[in-house]
């Protein structure tokens, strides 16, 4: 849901009625944001068999085969069920504007069938989907589009991107719009202050995201990476906060964590956007939202990409001088060297400050203007 906050927040502020059409698993997130909810599609991504199969593809073949399997095969195969639910819902109550995640292929089709104005909100997967579009996604969707009377080939709607395009796209996608980023209020609240040492040691924050820890087939791999990071940081004169989701309890029992004493604190979750304004280094999996949180917080990153868009993201950020990138399986010695290098190099923080200024200059999103522009494009 955080990938849609830059749309939801401005839409509410501008006085629009907002309804999320999504699987039941997102109902609570809609309620937290004060928007309507209508069930559409199924929670198929939570199916243990689906998660296990995807995990095995990643472990056996790496990130390229994983992306083709998940985004080039599984997502198109499930688009029909989502499109069917949305066509029925939007026929009864026609929306003025549809903004769907770029990976929500069923929503794109439903909007096209009903000739609704539509934009695709880039949730970080935009570059990956465009890379796979001609070879995997379009062929997989062609039959479904034909069954819904669509003669033109499947295509992504124009993208809304909450970051400067060159940060993540080597070639800017056609008709893409850069818009100002927004974060939900409940992700900003930070009770109290993070612990700081009397000697003002650097504070390092570690999070490898929630997706991989939720996939049983990858939990052991990610837990091993966390343990290597904790072992590396235990030998550095710094304070550490590790946000590890469902792995937190296991990590609290780690030998290296016990040896580190109170300098290393492992928790399940933190309000990340606010915390990143108070730390000196962010060790991250490189998800799009996490990297933009780091830019807004002015915090350099050490990226260790896991899957999907993440490996490319951390390389792109390192290339811009916003930190360093390491292979996910880097040993603790290399992790320690990289952490020390980033903390000791002022130009990474200066580059983050410049990137933050660039991000803040993006234009605010105007939902009425988007509706009018998309209506013209859709012939409505």
Q: At what angle do helices 216-234 and 332-343 cross, to 10 degrees?
A: 60
For residue 192, pLDDT beyond 60: no
CATH of segment(s) 2-181+363-378: 3.40.50.2000
**DSSP run (H or E) holding 239:** strand 239-243
Q: What is the pLDDT of residue 194?
A: 47
- Report if pTM > 0.85: yes
DSSP 97: -
Mean pLDDT value across residues 269-291: 93
What are the structure tokens assigned to 377, written together? 């494009």
Distances (CA, A) of 108 to 145, 159, 351, 366, 369: 11, 12, 37, 20, 19
pLDDT digits (tens, 9 = 90+) for 234-272: 899 999 999 988 888 777 765 555 555 668 898 888 889
Task: Label residue 128 by pLDDT band (50, 70, 90).
Answer: very high
pLDDT the model gives residue 11:
94
Closest CA to 343 of 357, 324, 326: 324
Q: Which CATH architecture has domain 195-360?
A: 3-Layer(aba) Sandwich (3.40)
197 band by pLDDT with thresholds 50, 70 and 90: very low
Question: Quick one: which of 285, 308, 6, 292 has its CA closest to 127?
Answer: 308
Averaged confidence pLDDT in the chain? 90
Q: 10 phi and psi, to 5 degrees?
A: -60, -35
Q: Start-end ranges of CATH 3.40.50.2000 in the chain?
A: 2-181+363-378, 195-360
Buried b (16+ CB within 10 A) or exposed e, 290-326: bbbbbbbbbbbbbbbbbbbbbbbbbebbbeebbbbbb
Over the stretch 14-63, which tens digit does the pLDDT of each residue have?
999 999 999 999 999 999 999 999 999 999 988 999 999 999 999 999 99
The pLDDT confidence band at residue 219, using thresholds 50, 70 and 90, is confident
């Amino acid at each position: 849901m955080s990938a849609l906050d830059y749309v939801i927040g401005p839409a509410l502020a501008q006085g629009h009625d907002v309804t999320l059409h999504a699987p039941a698993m997102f109902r609570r997130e809609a309620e937290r944001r004060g928007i309507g909810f209508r069930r559409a599609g199924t929670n198929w991504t939570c199916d243990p068999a689906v998660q296990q199969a995807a995990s095995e593809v990643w472990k056996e073949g790496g990130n390229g085969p994983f992306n083709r399997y998940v985004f080039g095969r599984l997502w198109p195969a499930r688009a029909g069920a989502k499109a069917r639910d949305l066509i029925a819902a939007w026929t009864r109550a026609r929306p003025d504007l549809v903004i769907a995640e770029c990976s929500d292929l069923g929503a794109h089709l439903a909007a096209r069938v009903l000739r609704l104005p539509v934009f695709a909100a880039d949730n970080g997967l935009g570059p990956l989907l465009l890379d796979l579009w001609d070879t995997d996604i379009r062929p997989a969707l062609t039959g479904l589009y034909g069954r819904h009377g669509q003669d033109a080939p499947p295509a992504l709607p124009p993208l809304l991107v909450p970051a400067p395009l060159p940060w993540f796209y080597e070639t800017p996608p056609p008709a893409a719009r850069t818009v100002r980023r927004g974060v939900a209020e409940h992700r900003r609240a930070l009770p109290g202050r993070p612990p700081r040492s009397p000697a003002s040691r650097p504070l390092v924050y570690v999070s490898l995201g929630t997706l991989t820890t939720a996939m049983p087939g990858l939990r052991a791999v990610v837990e091993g990476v966390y343990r290597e990071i904790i072992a590396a940081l235990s030998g550095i004169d710094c304070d550490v906060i590790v946000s590890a989701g469902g792995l937190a309890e296991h990590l609290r029992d780690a030998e290296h964590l016990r040896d580190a004493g109170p300098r290393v604190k492992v928790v399940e979750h933190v309000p990340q956007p606010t915390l990143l304004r108070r730390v000196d280094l962010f060790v991250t999996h490189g998800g799009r939202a996490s990297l933009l949180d780091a830019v807004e917080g002015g915090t350099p990153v050490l990226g260790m990409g896991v899957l999907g868009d993440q490996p490319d993201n951390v390389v792109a950020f390192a290339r811009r001088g916003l930190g360093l990138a390491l292979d996910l399986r880097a040993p603790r010695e290399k992790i320690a060297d990289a952490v020390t290098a980033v903390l000791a190099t002022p130009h990474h923080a200066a580059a983050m400050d410049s990137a933050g200024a660039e991000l803040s200059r993006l234009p605010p999103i105007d939902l009425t203007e988007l509706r009018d522009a998309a209506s013209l494009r859709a012939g409505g």
